[in-house]
Structure 1
Amino acid sequence: MVAIMSPIREKLEGISLTRYFDNPKPMCFTSVEKVKFEKAKICHICKRGFTEKDNKVRDHSNFTGKYRGAAHSKCNLNYRDVRFVPVIFHNLSGYDSHLFIREVATGFPGRVWVLPQTKERYISFVKFMEDKRLSFRFIDSFKFMASSLNNLASYLKQQPTLRKVFGLDYDDAQIKLLTKKGVFPYEYISSLEKLQETALPPPEQFYSSLTDSDISNKDYEHAREVWGSFEISNLGEYSDLYLKTDVLLLVEVFENFRKTCHEAYELDPAHYYTLPGYSWDAMLLYTQVELELLTDVDMLLFVEKGIRGGVSQCCSRFAEANNRYMGEDYNPEKEDVYLMYYDVNNLYGWAMAQYLPYGGFNGDDAKDYLTLPEDSEYGYILEVDLGVSRITTRLAQGFATMSRARLPTGLKTAQTPDHAEGQT
């Protein structure tokens, strides 16, 4: 791993900080841009208008000197250039980070900051270079696009980076072969000597115990075509081409993802750790909502009492139907029973798309809440006393209609939601 990390370290250490940070470029301000600045009514950073009291300033990049737009003075001061280099791995948290995290932490000077998911899995980690103002931020592209690289690459219509890197040495037919993620006999390569073999291993050597699957005939033929078209002499050369192509396909996928997200929300996913974090900021930017924090402790405790989490219950795995559509199996002397199968998806996503509380919290105990429309501008969190008949409880015994946090017998801390007991 030292050999792998050394080029990365040397690349970062070789960046001229004096050029980029100590000597910012002056702004290039054209006559056309001057007219745009004078006519600007909205800050290009916060998207809010200028008032007579605002100090409108010209925002520009210290790296390029390019004019970016008119801005509030405060927005301009807070609009800082990033000082980290994002390093993208696909499935970093699940696999790749375990291979080199120790070398990143101890292989060369500089502290490491880790964002853990568990003791063994990391969402991200940052390597701060000693005596430098830049850092490496390792992020997982799988946290944004939860699919295999092969599937993600198949959605791409163009691969400009791949063609730019390989275009000088290979023709279009060869480059087209590389636009599909290749295959590699991972478990077959058990020693460095095998990398000197001069023929592609037979199909059975591409078996993966991780997925318990063999290589398909189509994928094996593709591997043979790559081997012949690029005049590969041994498995080592095949490995080099496979790895280079793999990295470039990830570049294509993530850069396309960045472009799409930035066009839609003007936010860069490379500055985030996960898609939920990105989505949260996109929501705040798109809606311009200002979230009010609860400052009343009684309100806070009131809301916390309503938190249920996942429902834990014991359900019957067998249900017996009895209705007139069953032919001879129908027993008219018994109660009619119909079975329905529901496969409901995206419950959380649906709930998050409804009206959500964001401010104006007040106590109220004098309304007829049953008359409120579902699309009311104002919503309510209710605490009620309910009377539930034994018949209703029996009918709903397989589905918790009113779950509650309950401490099971024998446990001291864990709380398990339970459905309401029959009450009258």
Structure 2
Amino acid sequence: MEKIRSMEIGGIIFRDTMQYIPSSLSSLVDTVKASASADDFMCLKQVFGDDHARMLRKGVFPYTYITSFEVYDEPTLPPKEAFRNDLTGEGISDEDYTYAVNTFKHFGCQSIKDYNMVYLKTDVALLMDVMLHFRRLAYESQGIELLHCVSLAAYSWNCAFLHTRAKIEVMTDEEMFSHNQRRIMSAIIELLQEELRRLRP
């Protein structure tokens, strides 16, 4: 199945960050923390103000515990066992659970929904900071804007052309151009058909 790398909605372009840095958010944050200070996490600082240093890590959330919208209204976090990841079969550490409970209390959460909002804001801000850090390093290293490319592979391709000074011929053969246009259209149709199959009961 084809993955969507990028989409534009209302003039805003959404990109799949896994196309640039295919790693877990937790390991990415640890990598950036090793070479940057807490104050370098500007997005996290903007969202959490003076609390940003305490949020400088990937949080935990009891995904499989959420079985209905009503569960979001529960006034406390579930027990540690509820944080087990059904996909990996792994639970969370005592340290992770303590962090979740302390976060719940510190931000005055009244429900799991409130905690979920803090969790999501943290994830988004951390991912933004990681991407901005990577973007800056990529530009300083190669002189090419990373986010003008749809993936790291496309970025690498552009870097190769820049540094080898290779010339790309303009496509002038009408038949070749038409063939490529048909391939693009057939790929779009395949994606739409796959999505329709997925949505049909």
TM-score using structure 2 length: 0.75
2:5 counterpart residue number: 124
| 8 Å CA contact 2:6, 2:150 repeated in 1 | no
- Say if 2:41 is the partner of 1:165: no
Rate the CA distance shift 1:264–1:226 in 2: closer, same or farther, 3 A: same
Q: Aligned residues, how many?
A: 164
Rate the CA distance shift 1:128–1:138 in 2: closer, same or farther, 3 A: closer
**Distance in 2 separating the partners of 1:163 and 1:142:** 24
Q: How does 1:95-244 map to 2 (within 5 A)?
A: 120-127=1-8, 135-156=11-32, 157=36, 158-167=40-49, 171=50, 174-244=51-121
How big is each residue's C-alpha offset from its partner over 1:179-200, in whole Å with a ceiling of 9 and x where there is no partner?
A: 1010000010111111111111
| 8 Å CA contact 1:189, 1:195 repeated in 2 | yes
2:189 counterpart residue number: none
How big is each residue's C-alpha offset from its partner over 1:33-58, in whole Å with a ceiling of 9 and x where there is no partner?
A: xxxxxxxxxxxxxxxxxxxxxxxxxx
Which structure has the greater CA radius of gyration? 1
| 8 Å CA contact 1:124, 1:137 repeated in 2 | no
Rate the CA distance shift 1:121–1:291 in 2: closer, same or farther, 3 A: closer
Gapped regions of structure 2 (runs ≥ 5): 171-201
What do you get for the CA RMSD once the two structures are aligned?
2.0
| 8 Å CA contact 1:123, 1:273 repeated in 2 | no
Higher helix share: 2
Rate the CA distance shift 1:291–1:270 in 2: closer, same or farther, 3 A: closer
Higher strand share: 1
Aligned partner of 1:142: which letter?
M
Question: Sequence identity of aligned pairs in percent?
Answer: 35
TM-score using structure 1 length: 0.37
- How big is the shift at 1:291? 6.2
* Deviation >6 Å, runs of 4+: none
Rate the CA distance shift 1:128–1:236 in 2: closer, same or farther, 3 A: closer
- How big is the shift at 1:128? 6.2
Aligned partner of 2:94: which letter?
N
How big is each residue's C-alpha offset from its partner over 1:159-209, in whole Å with a ceiling of 9 and x where there is no partner?
A: 112112221xxx3xx322211010000010111111111111101100111
| 8 Å CA contact 2:61, 2:83 repeated in 1 | yes
Q: Secondary structure at the match of 1:155?
A: helix
| 8 Å CA contact 2:5, 2:19 repeated in 1 | no
Aligned partner of 2:18: which letter?
F
**Distance in 2 separating the partners of 1:279 and 1:176:** 34
- How big is the shift at 1:137? 3.0
Rate the CA distance shift 1:146–1:189 in 2: closer, same or farther, 3 A: same
